[in-house]
Amino acid sequence: MRDSYDIMIVGIGGQGTILASNIIGEACILEGRTVRGAETHGMAQRGGSVESHVRIDGKFGPLIAPGSADLLIGFDLLEGLRYSHFLRPDGKIVLSERLVIPTSVYVQGLAIPTPEELIKKLSRLNLTLIRAEEVAKEAGSILASNVVMLGAASHQIPLDESSLVHAVQRLVPKKTIEINTRAFTLGRNVGPGC
Amino acid sequence: MDQRYLLGNEAIALACLESPVGFVSGYPGTPSSEVIEILAAHPDRSSYVEWSVNEKVAFENALAAAWCGVRSLVTMKHVGLNVAADPLMTSAYTGVTGGFVIMSADDPFAHSSQNEQDSRMYAKFAKIPCFDPSTLQEAHDMVKDAFALSEELGLPVLFRPTTRICHSKSNVTVGPVLPYSGKGEFHKDPRQYVVIPAHTRILHRKLNEKQPAVRKRISESGYNQYHFRGKRAIIASGIAAAYVQEIIPPDVSFMKIGAYPIDEEWLAGFVRKHQEVLVVEELFPVVEEAVREVAGTVTVFGKKTGHAPYEGELSPENVARIMEACGFSPAVHYTSVQPVPDLPPRPPILCAGCMHRPVFYAIKKIFRDGIYPSDIGCYTLGLQLGAVDTTICMGASITVGSGFSHAGEERDIVATIGDSTFLHTGIPGLLNAVYNGANMTLVILDNRTTAMTGHQPNPNTGCTVCGGLSPQISLEALCRACGVPHVETVDPYDMVMLTATLKTAKSLPGVKVVVAKQPCVITARRAGVRRGTYRVDPDICTGCGTCIKFGCPAIEQQDEKAWINDLCSGCAVCAQICPAGAIGREGSR
């Protein structure tokens, strides 16, 4: 009976996970499909780890069970790894190469994780790494990294490219429509399956 | 009718505008806060909207409007209902003439709360109807029905969404926003509105006499439904009903409870057609207890048999596990997977440049062996800096501090409280501490906003939720009026003055107040405040770790030396605490 396509979008509070999941939700509305989503608000936003769940064609609850997500989009290497167990065995992960070391690591004197070791721990998965910030700069603003990531993952998402682009244009601030549209396209060009 | 992708709280707010509501009040609290923000910002709003100073105040304001025949909404989080419990209990006696909906958002798993209480129990306690949505569409539709039901029965109606309703999203069908054009008018009736003993005894009997009609209308509401499919059944409520519906096998009967009180006869009719019944609900066993009362010889599984938890929130996978444990094979099997072990945590943290951090740093330095009662707000994160010893509920930093003082504790007591929390329930505690001669220091962390819940304005901000200017209040004058003899205000970015001010407070007897004043760094940035950023001179840095332990997210460690990243907001506190003088303004060296 499970007939939804389940996407997790993870990152750090402030990186734009909510906007990315809203774009997917809006694209579902444009295509007349049902959708469910869940996100982190409140205390968890203050620079903490955040997760958005989006279930395309979802008709029941908003939460994705661990081991059952079809796609994981990560805006930070460490956060991608933290939520990687949510993926189903044949799921795909599209991950930004960015790594922000949690302040707790320095304060508590923990071992500082390196990109290489985090990527190594993800090697068993169907992983694509994206230089999201570089691509976003090329599009016109580093702030569009989240839309770059969405573009890069978009080949996997069972929604029309035109619906996603239309949703981007509906939801981003007016002044940034051009940059974000370019960010989506440039992201799409470097994503897996293009 | 329009299909939109909405946040739960947005669907709830739009339903209020469709009803239409005439009066809205509340106090911010996750996960309820967005409802008032969305209503206040809506271009087609015609209702009155306010952030009140606390939930009791909000409740009584909205109740008065409902007494005037105005459709009224009051919003809060579950613990806010404790603050508003006094008027709640008696408002059921007086009743209302305008529809009165009390939104109390519950937070199973305490995502952003100090406990996991269940507001459905309050509805039972107060003898009023309660709606408990399982989907966003239902949340939207229930709000509209709640206003109508409240008017019909003359009773307040409790609306209890949970975090997974308020902060989840879905396609929702919404209707047109209607203008509210009514004008409140209070009709005097002392026997209804003056609850002296002679009146209230009669009002209580009338409330009890209403209960059969309440049960009947709840049954007719359509929010409690069942599908009869076999000899075994699952009964679920709230968001748990959505999880069950996704994985229930086709030969198992299903009942969804979305409205209370449940009609016993109707429930018994369903339960007794089965041999085994599993009840799945979050927090208190409200439905389970009702089922057990009518179950007779039917086997009932749930919390009381140890199959379902009393605490935390449910999820698709733990609902599946509960079903398996009771022999109800779920239609979907979730594989058991574990997260990658030993990853460094990334908890929420005070922002770079947050004014709370230097205050905690200085308190720990000056009151080295002190006790630090604190309160509810962003600054509870001072726990990570070792400067928060207690937090129980809004306003309790001051009262716990004075309690410690009178209990015989001889260490220095330094309480911390935010401006919004101080105005919420801090003032009576301060008055009490002075009146009864406590020895303590209170630091009011005055960032001029209710930051943690999303920067809602309060009487200290100078504006209202709808953007109107409000009179400037003086925290210092308020404290002095409470009888505090020593009140000093200090800029927390100025470490020399901050330290000196705390030292003075330490040297004095009685209740001392220090107001540490700086705008929240997020609101300051939004308002266009830009300070120069700072950098570490690696040739001077000794790698002593003082700034690292300060815990600012802008300060990183590279090759045993400190390094400042682009999160720096220029507060300059790290430059003042660096023992080597290695940190300076960018470009100044």
Domain ranges (residues) in chain A: 5-190
Q: Residue B69 — pLDDT band, cuts 50, 70, 90?
A: very high
- Closest residue in A to B376 (Cα) is A43
Domain A5-190: CATH architecture, name and number where available: 3-Layer(aba) Sandwich (3.40)
Q: Which residues of B touch A113 (CB under 8 A)?
A: 343-344
DSSP letter assigned to residue A142: G
| Residue B5 to residue A40, Cβ atoms within 8 A | no
Q: Which residues of B touch A7 (CB under 8 A)?
A: none
State mean pLDDT over B446-466: 95
pLDDT tier at A1, thresholds 50, 70, 90: very low
Would you state the pLDDT for residue A47?
85
* Closest approach of B455 to chain A, Cα-based (Å): 11
B378 to chain A, any CB pair closer than 8 A? The answer is yes
Between CA B74 and CA A121 the distance in angstroms is: 49
Q: How confident is the model at residue B472 (pLDDT cuts 50, 70, 90)?
A: confident
Q: What pLDDT does B399 receive? A: 98
Chain B residues touching residue A32 (CB < 8 angstroms): 3
Which one, of B571, B131, B71, B126, lies nearest residue B361 by Cα? B571
d(CA B146, CA B99): 8
Average pLDDT of chain A to the nearest whole number: 95
Q: Which of B10, B38, B112, B170 to mutate to test the interface with A (most CBs of A within 10 A)?
A: B170
For the stretch B75-109, pLDDT in tens is: 999 999 999 999 999 999 999 999 999 999 999 99
Range scoring the smallest mean pLDDT among A12-16, B392-396, B487-491: A12-16
In whole angstroms, give the CA distance from residue B13 to residue B7. Answer: 10
Domain B225-325 matches domain B534-585 at the CATH topology level: no
Give SS3 for A10. Answer: strand
Structure confidence at residue A2 (pLDDT): 53
Mean pLDDT of the B21-30 span = 98
| Burial tier of B548 (Cβ tally within 10 Å: 0-12, 13-18, 19+) | buried
Q: What is the pLDDT of residues B390-429, one digit of tens each?
A: 999 999 999 999 999 999 999 999 999 999 999 999 999 9
Cβ–Cβ of A110/B344 closer than 8 Å?
yes
Q: Are B518 and B493 in contact (CB under 8 A)?
A: yes
Interface of B with A in 292-351 (CB under 8 A): 315-317, 320, 331-332, 334-340, 343-351
In this predicted model, what pLDDT tens digit does every residue of A84-120 receive, in sequence order? 999 999 999 999 999 999 999 999 999 999 999 999 9
Mean pLDDT on B521-538: 95
Count CB pairs under 8 A between chains A and B: 168
Question: Class for domain B534-585, per CATH?
Answer: alpha beta
Q: What is the pLDDT of residue A46?
A: 74
User: Can you tell me which residue has the tokens 């400042």?
Assistant: B564
Asked if B25 contacts B395 with a C-beta cutoff of 8 angstroms, the reply is no
Range B10-30 average pLDDT: 98
In order, the DSSP letters of B21-48 are: --EEEE---TTTTHHHHHHHH-TT--SE
The least confident of B101-105, B141-145, B523-527 is: B523-527
Confidence of residue A45 (pLDDT cuts 50, 70, 90): low
CB contact under 8 A, A106 and B30: no
Cβ of B317 within 8 Å of Cβ of A105? The answer is: no
Please tell us whether the domain made up of B225-325 is placed in CATH 3.40.50.720: no
Whether residue A76 is predicted with pLDDT greater than 50 in this model: the reply is yes
Cα–Cα dist B462/A111, whole Å: 46
Q: Which of A34, A85, A102 sits opposite B345 (nearest CB)?
A: A102
Chain B within 8 Å of A78 (Cβ-Cβ)? yes
A50 contacts on B by Cβ (under 8 Å)? none
Q: What is the pTM of this model?
A: 0.97
Rounded CA-CA distance B134/B566 in Å is 43
A43 touches chain B (CB under 8 A): yes
Put simply, whether A6 touches B (Cβ < 8 Å) is no
In Å, how far are A15, A116, B93, B102, B125 from B88, measured between CA atoms? 41, 58, 9, 9, 10
* A41 — pLDDT class (breaks 50, 70, 90): confident
B2-220: which CATH architecture?
Answer: 3-Layer(aba) Sandwich (3.40)
pLDDT over threshold 90, residue B587:
no
What is the mean predicted confidence (pLDDT) over B512-541?
A: 96
Cross-chain Cβ contact B243/A49 below 8 Å:
no
Which class would CATH give B356-526?
A: alpha beta
CB contact, 8 Å: B549 with chain A? Answer: yes
Contacts of B315 in chain A (CB under 8 A): 63, 65
Q: Report the 10 Å Cβ neighbour count for B439.
A: 19
| In chain A, % of residues over pLDDT 90 | 91
Q: What sign does the CA torsion over B318, B5, A4, A127 have?
A: negative
Q: Is A158 on the interface with B (CB under 8 A)?
A: no
